[in-house]
Amino acid sequence: MVHLKLAKYGKDKVRVARIVRNADGTQDFREYFVRVLIEGDIERAWTHSDNTDCITTDSIKNTTNIFAKTSPHVLVPEAFALDLGVHYVTRYAHVHRCSVDVVQLKWSRIPVKAKAHPWSFVRNGDDKRTASVVVDATKGKNAITATCQGGLKDLLVLKTHESSFENFWVDEYTTLKPVSDRIFSTSVDCVWQIPILPKHLTGADIGKLGIDFDAIYQSVEGTTLDIFATHNSASVQATLYNMCEKVLNDNSQVSDIKYELPNKHYIAPDLSFFKGLKNTEPQDAEVFTPVDAPSGYIIGHVSRDAPKAKL
Ligand SMILES: O=c1[nH]c(=O)c2[nH]c(=O)[nH]c2[nH]1
């Protein structure tokens, strides 16, 4: 005998763009990639070739467009994702859980004479804002709960000073030399958890949660850039922890935050074969070879919980 351990499906990479025309003449613009996955009493499509309860992924794409048109939360990815998620578990008796992931592309207002233009935008970065929610009605349609994560990814940064890596473990496998000054470059991926408190969440609650998702995103992005630039780094690990600490200190509604930081290496080549040019000691190193792979990869997840006692 075999049994189906997981059944989950939906539409991925639904591309949707939305204009909001404001009363003051300004316009807002959002461009999202949306993924919606549903779970529930849906197994028969897998196990019995029976599609009776199968909400088509095409309808899921249509619903995403309809919500982009009608949701009052469309401008805020976390709230938009919650709205879509609540819809599926309330509209369909046989859908018990819905996961929604939104990736927002970076369109920023064009500054014209130092003023943000009301309706013209520039893609000023490959970094994305992300939102991931899971809306759960497995305990019943009157006990809908949700988890919500904000995030940012692909934020590429580099600094040329105030980064060192010294006093590390040395053994028979070690060839790395300690370095008091080096290039530090990473592509920041980060997610933070925002607890959604109502024991029973409805679509009408989403505007009343009292959570400013935009302000939290801006705070995390600002802190990430600030700490990266100003922390005199002893390691990627230490800089990462400093970022987490400040985000949690500044944002009481964030319960925990996780960064994943590749250490994108820049190696100073030995140029001494040419007229004795000095380029390898930190104080001489000016020319570097950017290295695509491998990179270091540093992960840290920091929460407010007291650490569990070590046995
Ligand atoms: O910041 C760093 N952390 C490491 O763990 C490490 N390991 C390494 O080779 N270089 C670095 N840099």
Residue spans of the domains in the chain: they are 1-143, 152-311
pLDDT at 307: 65
pLDDT at 200: 87
152-311 and 1-143 share a CATH fold = yes
Mean pLDDT rounded to a whole number for the chain: 97
Q: What is the mean pLDDT of residues 104-112?
A: 98
pLDDT at 311: 66
Residue 57 appears among annotated catalytic residues: yes
Q: What are the tens digits of pLDDT across the range 14-53?
A: 999 999 999 999 999 999 999 999 999 999 999 999 999 9
Q: What are the tens digits of pLDDT across the range 48-80?
A: 999 999 999 999 999 999 999 999 999 999 999
- Structure letter (DSSP) for residue 80: H
pLDDT at 81 over 70: yes
pLDDT at 309 over 90: no
Q: Strand, helix or coil at 159? A: strand
* CB 280 within 8 Å of CB 270: yes
Q: What is the 86 CA–ligand 1 centroid distance (Å)? A: 43
Selected catalytic residue, list 3, 48, 57, 117: 57
Q: What are the tens digits of pLDDT across the range 286-300?
A: 999 999 999 999 999
CATH superfamily of this structure's domain 1-143:
Urate Oxidase; (3.10.270.10)
Q: Is 6 in the pocket of ligand 1 (CB under 6 A)?
A: no
Strands ordered across the beta sheet of 184-193: 9-21, 27-40, 95-104, 128-136, 145-159, 184-193, 256-263, 296-303
Q: Strand, helix or coil at 104? A: strand
Q: Is 203 in the pocket of ligand 1 (CB under 6 A)?
A: no
Split at pLDDT 50, 70, 90, the class of 281 is very high
Express as a percent the part of the chain with pLDDT over 70.
99
- Binding site for urate, residues? 57-58, 165, 182, 236-237, 263
Q: Model pTM greater than 0.90?
A: yes
- Binding site for O2, residues? 57, 263
Q: What are the tens digits of pLDDT across the range 158-178?
A: 999 999 999 999 999 999 999
Give which of 50, 41, 282 is closest to 179, Cα–Cα.
282
DSSP E strand boundaries for the chain: 9-21, 27-40, 95-104, 107-112, 115-123, 128-136, 145-159, 184-193, 256-263, 266-267, 289-290, 296-303
Give which of 110, 129, 131, 107 is closest to 120, Cα–Cα.
110
Interatomic CA distance for residues 109 and 35, integer angstroms: 26
pLDDT at 305: 73
Q: What are the tens digits of pLDDT across the range 191-235?
A: 999 999 887 899 999 999 999 999 999 999 999 999 999 999 999
Split at pLDDT 50, 70, 90, the class of 279 is very high
Interatomic CA distance for residues 92 and 55, integer angstroms: 9
Q: What is the 164 CA–ligand 1 centroid distance (Å)? A: 9
Q: Which value, to the nearest 10 degrees, does the dihedral of the CA atoms of residues 150, 153, 155, 158 take? A: 110
Q: What is the 235 CA–ligand 1 centroid distance (Å)? A: 6
Q: What is the 281 CA–ligand 1 centroid distance (Å)? A: 18
Q: What are the tens digits of pLDDT across the range 4-14?
A: 999 999 999 99
* ipTM confidence score: 0.99
Token couple for 111: 């500054």
Selected catalytic residue, list 96, 246, 264, 265: 265
CATH superfamily of this structure's domain 152-311:
Urate Oxidase; (3.10.270.10)
- Binding site, residues? 57-58, 165, 182, 236-237, 263
